[in-house]
Amino acid sequence: MKTVFVLNGPNLNMLGKREPSIYGTQTLDDIGADCRKAGSALGLEVDFRQSNHEGALVDWIQEASQAAVGLVLNAGAYTHTSIAIHDAIRAAAPLPVVEVHLSNIHAREPFRHVSKVAPYAVGMICGFGPLGYTLALQALAARV
């Protein structure tokens, strides 16, 4: 099976508790289980991870460039602020990256409208809640 990394950034470990009106009631563990099930159906092995630490995400992006055929990334708030994650994705090329957000970042606060991930992602899926992860895996499976 081809491996795809699914990386999650800060505060996503609080899903199910944190602002359910915005982020829904599913936990990150629920989303991970859905990703593994969807990945298996697509012939992909999903390596699902979360960290609140920018450096860990950078390390995992670098690891993915060597160990995976694609990357699904929900960088959380780092999406809008992290040059380090931007540079890691750029350095991981040609690894295809799909950016995911549970909420529609373009319908929220203005600071969320700009993504440092987007310039090097093959696409972005936002606003569909946890389904966005499954859609991202489908997009990667079609691409690889």
- For all residues of the chain together, what is the average pLDDT? 93
Strand partners, 4: 46, 70
120-137 per-position pLDDT tens digit: 999 999 999 999 999 999
- Consecutive H or E run containing 67: helix 54-67
- The pLDDT tens digits of the residues spanning 6-29 come to 999 999 999 888 777 777 788 999
Q: How many Å from the N-terminal Cα to the C-terminal Cα in the chain?
A: 12
Q: Please tell me whether the peptide bond between 10 and the residue prior to it is cis, using omega within 30 degrees of 0.
A: no
Is domain 2-143 in CATH 3.40.50.9100, yes or no? yes
Active-site residue set: 23, 101
